[in-house]
């Protein structure tokens, strides 16, 4: 929120300078984004009088001006402004000055063969407004030669970041109240004189939507003269980044920005019949002031007359009924709208406005009459006219909120022991009414809907006293070496993160929310995705049931930008529906391999793409790092409909416990994510990993290398083609657990010499002696056990 120091001082009686006020606002929790002084950038621009204006000899649209700076030495300046003429007093930028609008440094130069010693400037060029049809025209009493910065005077503009919980500071008056409570001056009371009105309101005003618009106050002012607003009002709005439009519109904006009270003025001539706050009807549309047409939903609150909708209530008025230069009679609207309804409507229409930002945070429910009096008084003073009686339809939901508060909480929760009298003073300065002894009864003012309990009162007291006054107190720490703070689950995730990165994958962090269609594709069976009732957008509507959709989208973006090989992984949470509709949050690790596993080259030939075996290798390596008993895992099908059948599988501990799934994605899944190349993926379900008995972590025993050298033996087995190689490896590995330490497939042959329906599977078996080397008898005994174990799964030793 932006405002000028002069606007603040209209509400706050203070001599404090901008730097002091900025420090105080930061101390109050109202963070200063910036403090800018427009005049400070204009020190090299001077007030100048045009003595003569002659036609340029080489250009019809240019003039050659003789400009006086008050020193008796006129300067020659070439100017193209249509209003440049003899006798005009304007602003001259001298050589060396930097134009604020575009950063251009002015220099002495020749324009069409005529020397120019600077530039006569427009309002836009100096960053003071949007006018650029001509150069600035100053009053006749402006003194030539004076720095334009001195002529304007210093009026710094504050840009304050207002957090969503401070609706009271969405107006300059609320910020002034905070500063006064902190001792930076005295808050001036709101000067309003109620206007009774001299005739009955000629328009029927009512509310038919007690939930969306419980209170609708209004009155008519006839005989107004709409035109440019006075300079003080325009300057105030410009400091806030607003463009002055007309007196009637500027007055409503001034009250909104100054007091946090949005209001609206309708051109009475455009209205027909009663003006009603109601729900929109099916098929209704409205052309808003931003020039866009919006289709309304039946649950949205609108302001309408007999002819149709004129206003998206609390957000934006309609173009048809807005005030113009020809407006002579106006209807003022000051209403209270339900914050939740405003937020929901604005989000559904993708429509933001200053009014919406205030209504959805919550405006002061007791400011309806005062706001109407402010508007009426300003319109009568600036535009003239005659006011009607006030019509009050409905009643604002004024909640008499009283909080029980013990002053000792300031020390216990806030760490600052403040005297009771000082706490009473602070609360009174902020508008709270305090009564009682011991445990106080603190009545919350209507402009503070964010206050719910005693801790909120502590926050108010402490921040006004000064957040920098809260002492820094270290937490107690036991003597000795600090104990580990990471849980077993955190340690596991850290270890997996390092392992995945060490294997060449890059970590990604994707949204926990997905488009509903993508989430549904990975929600298997009854595990329908959770859908948010109030999402940020349609593309972030469903909670992810898997990490794979987010990683696939990330892989697509990388491939679209020219990446040839993508290796991504993510550790995060997936969100599932449990029994009875309960929400389950489960940890998971996912890996996506897309593009080329190895690039083309003279040694490798063509580029090689990732396949299902690459995914299986990643799954087994990461499960081993997690401490899973990989030697006991079974490879089984049914990875899911997202996967390619025959090129995917699951890794299970027993027939039911699925620890991971891996493989190539189904073509339909690739198409859904706009991926043209085959993609291999892995998904580990970390919550299903078995825990270590008698240990809280997966700590490994210290590494102790064997004393004796290992021995390798090769075996070739004839195996049915439908028998997975993993079954044979697992069976051989279990043949002699004391001696066999590793089993690896190094060849899979099918062809001449091997019967139809069979394949030759070659295994390398590593044996590790413990206390003595093997002799021939020991090796033969182990080999016999290996052959017997292979026979149990249908494998016979090849002759």
* Residues of the binding site: 450, 456, 459-460
Q: Which long-range contacts (CB under 8 A, 24 or more apart) does 749-754 make?
A: 750/721, 754/718
Nearest to 449 by CA among 170, 187, 161: 170
d(CA 119, CA 106): 8
Q: Taking the CA atoms of 737, 739, 743 and 749 in sequence, report the sign of the dihedral they define.
A: negative
Residues in contact with 35: Cβ distance below 8 Å, sequence separation at least 6, in sequence order: 18, 19, 22, 156, 157, 158, 159
Dihedral sign computed on CA atoms, order 639, 641, 646, 648: negative
Angle of helix 776-791 relative to helix 725-733, nearest 10 degrees, comes to 140
Alpha-carbon distances of 628 from 312, 619, 730, 737, 787, rounded to whole Å: 59, 11, 15, 18, 27
**Helix/strand/coil (H/E/C) assignment for every residue in 62-110:** CEEEEEECCCCCCEEEEECCCCCCCCCEEEEECCCCECCCCCCECCCEE
Query: Alpha-carbon dihedral of residues 378, 381, 384, 385, nearest 10 degrees?
Result: 60
CA atoms of 718 and 760, how far apart (whole Å): 5
**DSSP code at position 702:** P
**CB of 522 within 8 A of CB of 642?**
yes
List residues bridging with 386 in a β-sheet. 222
CA distances in angstroms from 25 to 18, 469, 570, listed in the order given: 10, 15, 42
Provide CB contacts within 8 A for 694, sequence distance 6+: none
Annotated binding site for Mg(2+): 450, 456, 459-460
Count of CB atoms situated within 10 Å of the CB of 377: 17
Query: Alpha-carbon distance 661 to 685, whole Å?
Result: 9
Torsion sign over Cα 488, 489, 494, 500: positive
Is beta strand 506-507 parallel, antiparallel or unpaired with respect to 565-577? parallel
């Amino acid at each position: 929120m932006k405002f000028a120091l002069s606007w603040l001082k209209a509400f706050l009686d203070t001599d404090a300078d901008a730097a002091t006020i900025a420090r105080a606002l930061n101390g109050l929790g109202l963070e200063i984004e910036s403090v800018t002084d427009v005049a400070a950038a204009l020190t090299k621009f001077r007030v100048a009088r045009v003595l003569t204006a002659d036609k340029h000899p080489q250009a019809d649209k240019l003039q050659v001006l003789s400009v006086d700076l008050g020193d008796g030495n006129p300067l020659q300046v070439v100017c193209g402004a249509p209003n440049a003429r003899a006798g005009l007093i304007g602003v001259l930028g001298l050589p060396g000055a930097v134009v604020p609008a575009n950063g251009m440094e002015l220099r002495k130069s020749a324009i069409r063969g005529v020397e120019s010693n600077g530039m006569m400037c427009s309002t836009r060029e100096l960053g003071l407004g949007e006018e650029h049809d001509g150069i600035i025209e100053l009053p006749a009493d402006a003194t030539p030669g004076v720095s334009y910065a001195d002529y304007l005077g210093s009026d710094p503009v504050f840009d304050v970041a207002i957090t969503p919980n401070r609706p009271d500071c969405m107006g300059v008056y609320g910020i002034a109240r905070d500063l006064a409570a902190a001792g930076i001056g005295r808050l001036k009371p709101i000067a309003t004189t109620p206007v009774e009105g001299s005739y009955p309101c000629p328009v029927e005003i009512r509310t038919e939507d007690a939930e969306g618009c419980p209170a609708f106050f209004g009155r008519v002012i006839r005989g107004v003269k709409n035109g440019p607003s006075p300079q003080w009002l325009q300057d105030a709005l410009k400091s806030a980044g607003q463009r002055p439009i007309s007196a009637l519109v500027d007055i409503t904006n001034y009250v909104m920005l100054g007091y946090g009270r949005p209001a609206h003025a309708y051109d009475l001539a455009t209205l027909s019949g009663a003006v009603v706050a109601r729900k929109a009807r099916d098929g209704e549309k409205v052309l808003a002031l931003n020039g866009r047409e919006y289709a309304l939903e039946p649950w949205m609150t609108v302001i309408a007359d007999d002819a149709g909708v004129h206003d998206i209530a609390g957000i934006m008025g309609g173009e048809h009924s807005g005030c113009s230069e020809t407006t002579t009679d106006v209807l003022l609207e000051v209403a209270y709208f339900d914050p939740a309804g405003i937020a929901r409507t604005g989000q559904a229409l993708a429509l933001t406005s200053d009014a919406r930002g205030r209504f959805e945070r919550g405006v002061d429910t007791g400011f309806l009459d005062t706001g109407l009096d402010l508007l009426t008084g300003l319109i009568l003073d600036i535009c003239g006219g005659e006011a009607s009686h006030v019509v009050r339809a409905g009643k604002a939901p004024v909640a008499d909120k009283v909080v029980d508060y013990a002053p000792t909480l300031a020390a216990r929760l806030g760490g600052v022991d403040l005297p009771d009298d000082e706490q009473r003073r602070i609360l009174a300065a902020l508008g709270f009414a305090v009564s009682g002894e011991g445990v106080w009864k603190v009545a919350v003012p209507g402009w503070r809907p964010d206050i719910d309990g005693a801790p909120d009162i502590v926050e108010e007291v402490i921040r006004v006293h000064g957040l920098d006054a809260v002492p820094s107190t270290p937490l107690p720490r036991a003597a000795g070496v600090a104990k580990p703070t990471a849980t077993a689950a955190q340690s596991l995730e850290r270890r997996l993160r390092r392992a995945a990165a060490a294997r060449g994958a890059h970590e990604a962090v994707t949204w926990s929310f997905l488009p509903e269609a993508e989430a549904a594709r990975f929600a298997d069976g009854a595990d329908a995705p959770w859908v948010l009732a109030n999402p940020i957008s349609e593309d972030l509507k469903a909670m992810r049931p898997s990490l794979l959709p987010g990683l696939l989208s990330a892989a697509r973006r990388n491939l679209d930008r020219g990446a040839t090989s993508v290796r991504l992984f993510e550790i995060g949470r997936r969100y599932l529906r449990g029994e009875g509709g309960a929400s389950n949050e489960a940890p998971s690790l996912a890996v996506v391999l897309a593009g080329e596993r190895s690039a083309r080259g003279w040694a490798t030939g063509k580029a090689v793409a990732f396949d299902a075996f690459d995914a299986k290798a990643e799954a087994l390596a990461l499960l081993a790092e997690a401490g899973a008993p990989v030697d006991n895992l079974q490879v089984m099908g049914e990875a899911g409909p997202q996967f390619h059948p025959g090129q995917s599988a699951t890794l299970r501990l027993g027939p039911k416990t699925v620890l991971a799934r891996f493989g190539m994605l189904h073509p339909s899944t690739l198409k859904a994510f706009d991926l043209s190349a085959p993609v291999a993926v892995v998904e580990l379900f970390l919550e299903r990993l078995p825990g270590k008995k008698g240990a809280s972590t997966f700590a490994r025993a210290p590494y102790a290398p064997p004393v004796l050298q290992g021995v390798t033996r090769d075996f070739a087995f004839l195996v049915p083609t439908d028998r997975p190689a993993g079954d044979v490896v697992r069976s051989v590995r279990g043949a002699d657990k004391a001696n066999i330490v590793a089993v690896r497939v190094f060849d899979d042959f099918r062809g001449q010499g091997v019967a139809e329906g069979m394949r030759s599977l070659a295994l390398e078996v590593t044996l590790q002696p413990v206390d003595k080397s093997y002799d021939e008898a020991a090796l033969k005994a182990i080999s016999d056990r290996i052959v017997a174990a292979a026979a149990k799964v249908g494998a016979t030793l090849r002759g």
